[in-house]
Amino acid sequence: MTIENLTINKSFGGWHKQYSHHSTTLNCKMQFAIYLPPQASNGNKIPVLYWLSGLTCTDENFMQKSGALRIAAELGIAIVAPDTSPRGAEVADDEGYDLGQGASFYVNATQAPWNRHYQMYDYVVQELPKLIESTFPVSAKRAIAGHSMGGHGALTIAMLNPQRYSSVSAFSPISNPMNCPWGQRTFSAYLGKDKASWRNYDASALMQQATQFVPAKVDQGASDDFMIEQLKPEMLSAAAQVSGYPLDLTLHDGYDHSYYFISSFIEDHLRFHAEHFNK
């Protein structure tokens, strides 16, 4: 597969690079960013954290705003951040920020016109890791994390593929999309009216019925304007109690939905993933 290097910047002794490539899964050109820490230059293959960003974001937001690169350089962890959806003039879109380009919700769409391009679940789980592992000095040790819509994606992907990920974490995830306005709008468009098909993309539903566990860490700001109507962390906590899921969910007073929150606790998340990479 041919990839094109778009940018390259040295950071904390490692390299942050952006690439574009044609995705056969999404039927369009895609962009991703990768941070390769200094340890990647010594011949060793290093573990990878896949980061899924939220609504309105691209591959750039987390890499530039989270403060994660310094800790990744210390721990020897590569970070891969894909774009949040397929994009392009030929890709279906909507005027709203919560549907269409930038708002994939990391599902495999089954409904037209979305199903032609919106297969982000398969892209994140299969195509992108195959590309990363065949191109860069990384191992098959993987963890996954995300924020908001991306936190939803990280949790559902990890629980549906417990053999592929050593750990999962999320900031302010959309925990119960079947029962919130964002999820109901997008799932109706991408997946259709049959709500039974929505359950595989609902973190609370998956966690409640889980029998295989991926250690999970979730942080939620108590002053997040979206928490009550859209995020519903209490549903995730209740689901974990039913199944005995190893979920560490912490509510932080005063913090909101922004990158100020993410940057305050990203070190804890990276150390959490490093601990499980080493087990």
Annotated catalytic residue within 148, 172, 175, 204: 148
The span from the CA of 18 to the CA of 201, in Å, is: 28
| 94 assigned to active site | no
The span from the CA of 84 to the CA of 91, in Å, is: 13
Three-class SS string for the chain?
CCEEEEEEEEECCEEEEEEEEEECCCCEEEEEEEEECHHHHCCCCEEEEEEECCCCCCCHHHHHHCCHHHHHHHHCCEEEEECCCCCCCCCCCCCCCCCECCECCCCECCCCCHHHCCEHHHHHHHHHHHHHHHHCCEEEEEEEEEECHHHHHHHHHHHHCCCCCCCEEEECCCCCHHHCHHHHHHHHHHHCCCHHHHHHHCHHHHHHCCCCCCCEEEEEECCCCCHHHHHCHHHHHHHHHHHCCCEEEEEECCCCCCHHHHHHHHHHHHHHHHHHHCC
Annotated catalytic residue within 85, 224, 237, 269: 224
Annotated catalytic residue within 257, 269, 273, 276: 257
Q: Residue 186 carries which side chain, given as an amino acid letter?
A: T
| 148 assigned to active site | yes
Structure tokens at 73: 């350089």
Q: Residue 2 carries which side chain, given as an amino acid letter?
A: T
| 257 assigned to active site | yes
- First-residue to last-residue Cα distance in the chain: 33
Q: Which residues are part of the catalytic machinery?
A: 148, 224, 257
